[in-house]
Structure 1
Amino acid sequence: MVDVLFDWPANAVVGTRIPKERFYAQGTVHAGAKEKFVAEVAKITWSHKLSVDTVNVPGVDDLVEIDVFRIDTKDGDLSDSILTAIDKAIPRPLIFEVTRPTAQLGSGNGVIRMVAAHKQLGVGSPKLSGYYSTDWMPYDQERTDLPAAINLQLLYAALLEPLTPVEMKAGESMLDLAERLETIRRLDREVVTLERKLRTEVQLNRKVELRRQLKTKLAQREQEK
């Protein structure tokens, strides 16, 4: 994972505020998430649109546009359920910039982080991976030029790659990487469960078996990385 903010092109600016009620109306927000929208979100802005018209990069198949949304929080972090509700309501890949007003990193303008999930488009509802994020950075952090790409699919992968905790392997697609990260997350959960069981187990034969299972899961996790 690399702490980076991209310098979105001036041609791509949209700057349209999106009312939270729009997402309520589309039915992607359950009751619990609606409460979080109210408690956590100050403002949602469709800040930029990346398309062949705005960045001169052609689309591929279903991917003809990537949108950047800025979410200004009221006083802290943002629940993934809010991001999921927005992602499910918008049938295009999204990159989020989340802001927090508290100047915890020495900037007078608050802090910001970039976050996104890999969105697999196709028939039916979009399929989302888990969310990947940078750390918090000063709002006035120097921004990086967009990665060079010959189409929007490759641009999308290049925008997401800095957010992920592992590097892409040679020949690996963003979908492959997302699936590998989900496998790592599953193995992380299984390792935690086995470690907890091992701490509380009193029978020697069960401890031996749990250690064997734990060693296997740790090796599998290391192989995925």
Structure 2
Amino acid sequence: MSTLFAWPPAAKVESRIPRDRLFRQAGGGKAIRALYDTQVERIDWAFKLFERSVNLPPAGGVDEIEVFRLTLRGDRIDDRVLAHIDKAVPHPIVFELVRHAPDGDEAMLSAAYKRRSEADKSQAVTLEHWHGDWASDTQARAPLPQAASLKGLYAGLLRSLWPHGPRGGETLRAQAERLSRIATQGKAVERLQLKLRREGDFARKTEINRELRAAQAVLKELTE
């Protein structure tokens, strides 16, 4: 998936975000600061998608979507950095990650499903970050997903990144939570596969193989 979207000019902000501001909002110690220092060159608030800039009404708790451009020092970003920024900002964020390449800058979208906490409305619940593919930052961009509200736009942006489509009647939240379980279960399968390759005892290999088949069956049920 290499879709980059043509953000509307009316939504343009173009304001640099000091990382100290993010740390004031989200906290964080030496480990996360080190990740910023080694991986992030600059952070820009690029676009603000809201009723006046995209002509879509708020709905389902979504009244604003931010687009942040992160220019990277290398070619990767630790998801802990994205999670830290999401923690500092109450609204949903779509990240445009930018890396320098020999033939020109490349960009990639990344986003996590975010919603208000039901226990504390001042807090947000954020799931895993999903990523698109790297593409030329100068390529022709796609129009925004068609939507009747900001919630629908948010759903379209997220689903452009998600590897599995919605099931019949599945809400955005339910789909996001199922994808979260898929991510967790996929890691469990990978751990068992590695464990199986390293095990030398035949009886133990048989037991691990049985666990692996069960884990793979759960993953298949979640993805079909």
Fold shared by both chains (TM-score > 0.5): yes
2: CA distance, partners of 1:42 / 1:197: 38
Aligned length: 219
Residue matched to 2:49? 50
Helix, strand or coil at the partner of 2:148: coil
2:105 to 106, 110, 121: 110
More displaced stretch, 169-178 vs 90-99? 169-178
Residue matched to 1:66? 65
Residue matched to 2:90? 91
1:161 to 145, 159, 162: 159
Helix, strand or coil at the partner of 1:164: coil
Residue matched to 1:197? 195
Contact 1:5 1:144 (8 Å CA) reproduced:
yes
2: CA distance, partners of 1:6 / 1:192: 33
The one-letter code of the counterpart of 2:2 is D
Helix, strand or coil at the partner of 2:160: helix
2:115 to 120, 125, 145: 120
| Residue-by-residue CA offset, 1:55-102 (whole Å, 9 max, x unaligned) | 010002531100100011123221111111110110000000010112
Helix, strand or coil at the partner of 2:61: coil
Deviation above 4 Å: which 4+ runs of structure 1? none
Identical amino acids, percent of aligned pairs: 32
Segments of structure 1 that go 5 or more residues without pairing to the other structure are none
Contact 1:112 1:138 (8 Å CA) reproduced:
yes
Helix, strand or coil at the partner of 2:47: strand
Change (3 A) 1:185 1:7: same
Structure 1 length as normaliser, TM-score?
A: 0.91
2: CA distance, partners of 1:62 / 1:161: 18
Segments of structure 2 that go 5 or more residues without pairing to the other structure are none
Following TM superposition, by how much is the alpha carbon of 1:168 offset from its aligned partner in structure 2, in angstroms? 1.9
